[in-house]
Structure 1
Amino acid sequence: MRGCKTALAQFLLLPLFPTPPSATHTQNRMPNNNYPDPFIVNPNGEHTHTLILLHGRGDTGSAFGAGVYITRTSSGFSLASLYPGMKFIFPTTKQRYTTGGAAAGYWWREWFDTTSLIYPEEESERQVEGLREAVAYVNELIEAEVANGIPRERIIIGGLSQGCATSIHVLLAQNERMGGFVGMSGWMPFASRVREICGLSPGFGISAILDSEEPVEVKNDESDDEVVPEEGDFPEPPPEKRKEAMMFIREVLLGRSPPGDDEDELEVLKTPVFLGHGDEGLLYPSDSSRERRLHESDEVVDYKLGRNIYTTLRHGLGMDVTWKRYRNFDHWYKEPDEIDDIVDFWGEKCDLFPE
């Protein structure tokens, strides 16, 4: 798995790179079942924004964070240099006994148990305990930032792979609008249930590819057009359907207080969302068997699962979602292309501009 290998390589190379002067491990012990302390890079100037990014399975906040810290845009600048007022927080999950993937039967770091990345909703009840714990933990990190004077609209959350999957539910557990969301090479747990509640059919949009037994016609060119069937214009679900979906996420899935009658409690749905995913091995007309379709895309998380996040958040919950596909790229964030796109997204949607 490229993500884990890359993270390991970054971890092994850490001594070659001097630790940023502002990088620390927080001295404040965090509750919630003994999660390790997060890796934090403090701002170089006046603290104006906070970015909380969650790592993927088998990784750590320090290894993932060190990689993000040295990542450059196409102009050669790091995020820390472009945003000197930004505080970077990279939490680390605790070790769990896992039942899926290459680490099945072992203890390793993951935010929640996942039995299958081909069918991520298979035995989905196993995911609930870890999701609840992780959401509660990351929410306390958010609350700590708010208590330190950073308003929610200046706090951006997100993650890579399973960190993306987890942070989506962290976002939807909030009542107020956040500064933004950045999801990279991820998926959304219980996405099909949310779409069902919102009235989207199982074959809606990209789900038609995943569920269909018939060959699917797709585009095969070098443009930036999506290699998916056109979704067309679909009526958005009424507010009561969105509220019902949010009730499922908060009360049934996460065990938190459901949204009340006040529409302000759904302000979080106004949070702008960025999603990026590689399409390495994406289906073309010559590869139409179901077996090939199930294993296509980035090497770990299927491209269509990432696209399903877009369908669920945009058409199900009515959120403002920016979707970026990266051709012939696998499971990680694409440097510098995706970093450039994130910087553009922050300026266009989050009112956050480089200094």
Structure 2
Amino acid sequence: MEFPAPHIHHAQPFHTHTIILLHGRGSNGLEFAEELFSSTTSKGKNLASCLPTYRWVFPTSRDRWSTTFQEDMCSWFDAYSLNDIQKRQELQKDGLRESILYILDIIEEEARLLDGQLGHIYLGGISQGMATAIWAFFAGIGTGQVQGPLGGLLGFCGWLPFAQQLEGLLDKSTLNGPIIHQAQRLVSTFFFDGIAGREMSQANQPEDSSVLSTPVFLSHGADDEWVSVELGRQASRIIRTIMDRVEWHEFTGAEGEGHWIKEPEGFDQILQFLQT
């Protein structure tokens, strides 16, 4: 089954940057865009109005079977449980692999539109969309499809699949010398051995750790009733081991039972990150 066409909010009057944002489970690109742009900064403007030359790309996942809910849902992969993220993790692999390949193709197309300026492309998502975006970035490094720093990674109210395996791998390894290089290699090897299978091939090229200078923005509601803030903290902790620049923001009182970005403070923070 093909992925639906992404929802695009076009840049005006010209295109200088692209932001690719992935929706959560059960949503879609258009719905996520409408929710995001209905929220405002402290100046009463939404993010698109503040950044008119940015092109906003909101991909939509295809429908896939949910083992938990016993029905087809619009989701990037099949996540069995967020109360115990270790439980039946093998269900995530096929969807993650397929979705990651799709997102990497979108990054490649946006880079073409921007004359190869990867530093003008941002990738992120909310909830399951954050989980997919982070692994797409790691996979892009391993496959060689991302060969330089992006403008930034953004994650809201999400988690990192296979976090405990990664954390154990990084903790048990003796990271002597250039730690970033070794962490990059460990994560890349884990992805290809544990998730990607034969459908993706690892690039045979010298490691370029400059890609890991991509700035990272993560935020999570401490009162999030859907994805525990502990999962967000865990993701932040692991990503800090791998990446050079990671921002972590916690808040309370957001809409959606805490499973959203705090308005307007959170949108002020996002805008500042995008303008830095």
Q: TM-score, normalised by structure 2?
A: 0.88
Structure 2 distance, partners of 1:50, 1:179, is 9
Taking the aligned partners of 1:301 and 1:200, their CA distance within structure 2 comes to: 27
Q: Equivalent of 2:195, from 253, 259, 277?
A: 253
Quick one: structure 1 residues 236 and 267, their matched pair in 2 at CA, closer, same or farther if it must change by over 3 Å? closer
Q: CA separation in 2, counterparts of 1:271 and 1:323?
A: 15
Question: 2-side partners of 1:139 and 1:169: how far apart?
Answer: 10
Partner of 1:327: 252
Residue 36 of structure 1 pairs with residue 4 of structure 2 = yes
Give 1:5-16 correspondences, 5 Å limit. none
Q: Is the 8 A contact 2:23 2:58 kept in 1?
A: yes
Alignment partner, residue 163 of structure 1? 129
For these two proteins, the number of residue pairs brought into alignment is 261
* Shift in CA distance, 157/271, structure 1 to aligned 2, threshold 3 Å: same
Matching residue of 2:144: none
- What is residue 169 of structure 2 aligned with on the other side? 197
| 1:15 corresponds to | none
> Matched residues in 2 for 1:249 and 1:238: separation?
16
Q: Distance in 2 between matches of 1:172 and 1:140?
A: 14
Could you tell me which amino acid in structure 2 is paired with residue 269 of structure 1?
Answer: L
Quote the Cα distance in structure 1 between the aligned partners of 2:94 and 2:215: 27
Counterpart-to-counterpart distance in 2, 1:318 and 1:108:
32
What secondary structure, in the 3-state scheme, does the structure 1 residue paired with 2:140 have? coil
Matched residue, 1:135: 100
Output the CA distance in 2 between the equivalents of 1:87 and 1:313: 27
Deviation at 1:258, TM superposition (A): 2.9
Would you say the 8 A contact 1:158–1:168 is kept in 2?
yes
Identify if the C-alpha distance between structure 1 residues 72 and 42 changes in structure 2 by more than 3 Å, giving closer, same or farther: same
Q: Deviations over 1:131-186 (max 9, x none)?
A: 00100111111111112235211110100110111111111112321110110000
- In the alignment, the residues of structure 2 paired with residue 133 and residue 125 of structure 1 have an alpha-carbon distance, to the nearest angstrom, of 14
Letter aligned with residue 257 of structure 1: S
The change in CA–CA distance for 1:258 and 1:247 in structure 2 (over 3 A counts) is farther
Matched to 2:120, the amino acid is R
Instruction: Tell me if 1:95 matches 2:63.
Output: yes
1:199 is displaced (CA, Å) by 1.9
1:311 aligns with 2:237: yes
Once residues 192 and 122 of structure 2 are traced to their aligned partners in structure 1, the CA distance between those partners, rounded to angstroms, is 20
| RMSD after superposition | 1.9
Q: Report if the CA contact (8 A) 1:58-1:110 is conserved.
A: yes
Give the equivalent residue in structure 2 for 1:116.
Answer: 81
Conservation of the 8 A alpha-carbon contact between 1:243 and 1:259: no
Please give the TM-score of this superposition, normalised by the length of structure 1. 0.70
1:239 aligns with 2:184: no
235-244 or 49-58: bigger deviation: 235-244
In the aligned structure 2, how far is the partner of 1:338 from the partner of 1:259? 37
Among 208, 218, 222, the alignment partner of 1:279 is 222
| Aligned-pair CA distance for 1:97 | 0.9
Secondary structure (helix, strand or coil) at the match of 2:129 reads helix
1:173 to 139, 153, 162: 139
What are structure 2's unaligned runs of at least 5 residues? 142-146
The CA deviation string for residues 232-284 of structure 1, in whole angstroms up to 9 with x for no partner, is xxx994633431222212453234333545121x433211100000011xxxx
Q: What CA distance in whole angstroms lies between the structure 2 residues aligned with 1:156 and 1:241?
A: 22
Task: Report the identity percentage.
Answer: 36
- Tell me what 2:158 maps to: 186
Which has the greater radius of gyration?
1
How far the C-alpha of 1:327 sits from its partner, in A, is 2.4
State the shift of 1:314 in Å: 0.2
- SS, match of residue 36 in structure 2: helix
Match of 1:262 in 2: 206
Shift of 1:346: 2.1
Task: Report if aligned partners of 1:197, 1:241 keep a CA contact under 8 Å in 2.
Answer: no
Distance 1:241 1:149, change over 3 A: closer
Kept in 1: contact 2:24–2:127 (CA 8 A)? yes
Question: Structure 1 residues 105, 181: CA separation in 2 closer, same or farther (over 3 Å shift)?
Answer: same
